[in-house]
Amino acid sequence: MQVEIEQLYDDKPTVYEDEHFQLFAEFKNALNQGHVRAAEPDASSPTGWRVNAWVKKGILLGFRMGGVIDMSVDSERQPFFDKSTFPVKRFTANSGVRIVPGGSSIRDGCYVGRGVTCMPPMYINAGAYVDDGTMVDSHALVGSCAQVGKNCHISAASQIGGVLEPVGALPVIVEDEVLVGGNCGIYEGTVVKRRAVLGTGTILNRSTPVYDLVRNTVHRANGDDPLVIPEEAVIVAGSRAVTSGPGKDWGISVYTPVIVKYRDAKTDTKIQLEDLLR
């Protein structure tokens, strides 16, 4: 499949034939089943993850191949128009996914594991991977190709950024048992290692260093390497003073995320999620 997808991506035909649409349908089914992923664990990588660029090419190929069609349930009261190749994802009660009524949308071509809870309104985009037992809360976004592990909590209004291009860029990775607090944002290929906790309003991206008060170090993205948040780190939104120029004279501070501790029993008690809600 990889060879065929890459060939079709690189050599655009004059007209897409039935065999091309069949290939894309097989590829999208593999995405839906979680058999192929935009990124996957790789112990040999410094981040613990590797990009599967050909999978991103396959998703982009779907946008190229599809035409805009009417997807409206009621074309007068609530019209929707999108690419024919990416309708909403189909679920049944046997899928083991809770999708609470109220305006949520999950696009076809993403993996949503058993026991995932979707609180309205939320959105999961094509290419994303959301593993078993995770909760995606109200107004939360899981962007294209983002990888979210098992038993995570993506709290209300949080944004897990997506990335399709460039195809070689690592998407956002949120490993198992991470708690992402309300109104957080994780962008630009940041890797959040397992069991980390992001306090309300924490923003992580390539431009903002993370100050680790416990280990007396600074975590930052370098070159092509993304920002990596250590396992079990507890991060809050903080600030640091501008130390030169007018900013110093005016007493200005700029935002910075700060690791204030690493998870312990007290942390686990505070963030414990009620299994009955799932």
Q: What are 34-61's pLDDT values in tens digits? A: 999 999 999 999 999 999 999 999 999 9
Mean pLDDT of 253-278: 81
Q: Backbone phi, then psi, for 65, in 5-degree steps?
A: -80, -30
107 vs 269, which has greater pLDDT? 107
Radius of gyration in angstroms for the set of CA atoms belonging to the chain, rounded to a whole number: 20
- Are 248 and 242 contacting, i.e. CB atoms less than 8 angstroms apart? yes
* Average pLDDT value over all residues in the chain: 95
Q: pTM value?
A: 0.94
β-pairing, 197-198 vs 179-180, is parallel
SS3 239: strand
With a cut of 90, say whether residue 261 has pLDDT above it.
yes
Q: Could you tell me the fold of the domain covering 2-264?
A: UDP N-Acetylglucosamine Acyltransferase; domain 1 (2.160.10)
> pLDDT for 59-111, tens place per residue?
999 999 999 999 998 889 989 999 999 999 999 999 999 999 999 999 999 99
With a cut of 70, say whether residue 193 has pLDDT above it.
yes
SS3 257: strand
C-alpha distances (whole Å) from 204 to each of 126, 134, 189, 209, 256 are 22, 20, 10, 8, 9
78 vs 209, which has greater pLDDT? 209
- Rounding to the nearest 10 degrees, give the CA dihedral for residues 26, 28, 30, 31: 170
- Are 163 and 147 contacting, i.e. CB atoms less than 8 angstroms apart? no
With a cut of 80, say whether residue 147 has pLDDT above it.
yes
For residue 78, the model assigns a pLDDT of 86
DSSP letter (8 states) at residue 230: P
For residue 265, the model assigns a pLDDT of 79
SS3 75: coil
